[in-house]
């Protein structure tokens, strides 16, 4: 079966991602036809929502810089697409989790080549096998799943867990905000101070 568009790459201007998502959920392989760029090619075949999306290039190497790099995208609801070196996938996914909280991801490897592969996981519990990969890598991180706002009890529990990890109060609040729905770091910081 083929999904063809008469105007641009399929899924970037139509709701075709639902078809790709259904095919992947049923266990059928999905292969993109070579396109003009890896980000669009990865988005068209990974099954994560393609719109809105932000292509953000290469994340910084240092962990703190990488966390700050992802933070502006925490509340946008956009799918994020970026390039990464195969040896840095683990550290980058960890930085993304610290900044964004749990989200689904796809590692699109060797796009349009014989060994093309799509690897899936969640930022909260990535598959360690995804760290030992070869070839060129494009990473797609989907938007957060809409699970509704976290209640006060959950917020307090997450603050306690993050507090056990140590750090300054603002840092603890920022880490907790990345894990909670509907709470900002400022609100959590104020909650800690009361």
- Tally the residues of the chain: 194
User: How does pLDDT run along the chain (194 residues), one tens digit per residue?
Assistant: 777 766 556 565 556 778 888 888 999 988 877 656 889 889 989 999 988 999 999 999 999 999 999 999 988 889 999 999 999 999 999 999 999 999 999 999 998 888 999 999 999 998 999 888 988 899 999 998 765 667 888 889 889 988 888 889 998 998 888 778 778 889 999 999 88
Q: Are 29 and 109 contained in the same domain? A: yes
pLDDT number for residue 148: 60
137 backbone dihedrals φ, ψ, rounded to 5°: -125, 130
In a domain, 146, yes or no: no
For 38-65, the DSSP string reads HHHHHHHHH-S--SSEEE-----SSHHH
Edge-first strand order for the sheet with 137-141 is 53-55, 79-84, 137-141, 104-109, 117-122
Specify the DSSP class assigned to residue 134: -
Per-residue tokens: 174: 């920022």
Q: Are 174 and 88 contained in the same domain? A: no
Q: Are 59 and 135 contained in the same domain? A: yes
Q: Are 94 and 187 contained in the same domain? A: no
In a domain, 100, yes or no: yes
Taking the chain, what is the end-to-end CA distance rounded to the nearest angstrom? 59
In a domain, 10, yes or no: no
Full-model pTM: 0.65
pLDDT number for residue 180: 80
State pLDDT tens for residues 107-132: 999 988 889 999 999 999 989 998 88
Q: Are 68 and 130 contained in the same domain? A: yes
Per-residue tokens: 17: 């991602």
pLDDT number for residue 176: 86
Q: Are 162 and 119 contained in the same domain? A: no
Q: Are 89 and 26 contained in the same domain? A: yes
Domain count, the chain: 2
Q: Are 128 and 175 contained in the same domain? A: no
- Alpha-carbon separation of residue 29 from 42, 47, 48, 116, 182 (angstroms): 14, 11, 15, 11, 36
Q: Are 99 and 136 contained in the same domain? A: yes
Domain coverage including residue 45? 17-141
Burial 31-56, CB ≥16 within 10 A → b, else e: ebeebeebbbbbbbbbbbbbeebebb
Per-residue tokens: 140: 């797609």
Map tokens 């550290």 to a residue.
91
In a domain, 63, yes or no: yes
In a domain, 122, yes or no: yes
In a domain, 48, yes or no: yes
The sign of the dihedral angle between the CA atoms of 179, 181, 185, 190 is negative
User: Which residue blocks in 71-118 are alpha helix, DSSP H?
Assistant: 89-100
In a domain, 168, yes or no: yes
Q: Are 133 and 186 contained in the same domain? A: no
pLDDT number for residue 89: 95
């Amino acid at each position: 079966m083929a999904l063809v568009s008469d105007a641009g790459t399929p899924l970037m201007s139509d709701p075709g991602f639902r078809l790709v998502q259904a095919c992947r959920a049923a266990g059928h392989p999905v292969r993109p036809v070579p396109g003009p760029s890896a980000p669009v090619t990865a988005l068209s075949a990974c099954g994560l929502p393609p719109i809105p999306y932000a292509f953000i290039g290469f994340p910084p190497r240092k962990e703190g810089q990488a966390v700050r790099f992802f933070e502006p995208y925490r509340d946008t609801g956009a799918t994020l697409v970026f390039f990464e070196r195969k040896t840095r996938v683990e550290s980058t996914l960890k930085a993304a989790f610290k900044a964004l909280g749990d989200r689904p991801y796809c590692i699109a490897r060797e796009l349009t080549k014989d060994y093309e592969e799509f690897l899936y996981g969640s930022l909260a519990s990535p598959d360690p096998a995804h760290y030992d990969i070869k070839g060129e890598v494009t990473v797609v991180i989907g938007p957060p799943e809409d699970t509704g706002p976290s209640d006060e009890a959950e917020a307090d529990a997450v603050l306690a867990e993050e507090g056990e990890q140590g750090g300054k109060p603002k840092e603890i609040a920022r880490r907790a905000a990345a894990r909670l729905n509907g709470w900002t770091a400022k609100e959590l910081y104020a909650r800690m101070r009361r």
